[in-house]
Amino acid sequence: MPDWKFEAEDTIADGGLHGRLLLAKATATLSRDDHQVEVGVGTNVLDSPLHALEHLLKELRSCPGSTDVQPGDVVTTGTWTDAYPVKSGESWSASFSLPQALLTVHFED
């Protein structure tokens, strides 16, 4: 951002900041085209993105025959659910066990 001036919405859209921090025993239900894909919990997050990345690298290196993180790999850190590939035409949503609006995104070409 020019002169490091931005609105909160810019950093949220860019993934630089979170829109909200939830501190509770909560679940997130991830769905694709109205079909449940996974239910995740806040305890899946390992304190910080760096701790999550460190944990991933340690686990990979402890598995005989496993490869390390490679250029081009997508690594998500601190997520409630796994990251899944998306296709054009799909709609994905996340709903929460706490009072939180349903989040939905539709992917198009």
pLDDT digits 0-9 by tens, 19-56: 555 555 788 899 999 999 999 887 777 666 677 788 88
Whether residue 5 lies inside any domain: the answer is no
Whether residue 2 lies inside any domain: the answer is no
Whether residue 8 lies inside any domain: the answer is no
DSSP, res 106: E
Whether residue 12 lies inside any domain: the answer is no
Whether residue 1 lies inside any domain: the answer is no
Number of domains in the chain: 1
DSSP letters for 10-39: HHHHHTSS-S----SS-EEEEEETTEEEEE
pLDDT of res. 15: 56
Whether residue 13 lies inside any domain: the answer is no
Own/partner pairs for 16-23, CB < 8 Å, 24+ apart? 20/100, 22/96, 22/98, 22/100
Domain that holds residue 94: 26-65+76-109
What is the Cα–Cα distance from 95 to 99, expressed in whole angstroms? Answer: 9
Whether residue 39 lies inside any domain: the answer is yes
Whether residue 93 lies inside any domain: the answer is yes
Q: What value does the mean pLDDT of the chain take?
A: 79
Instruction: Please determine, for residue 88, whether its predicted confidence score (pLDDT) is greater than 90.
Output: yes
The residues with which 29 forms a beta bridge, in sequence order, are 39, 95
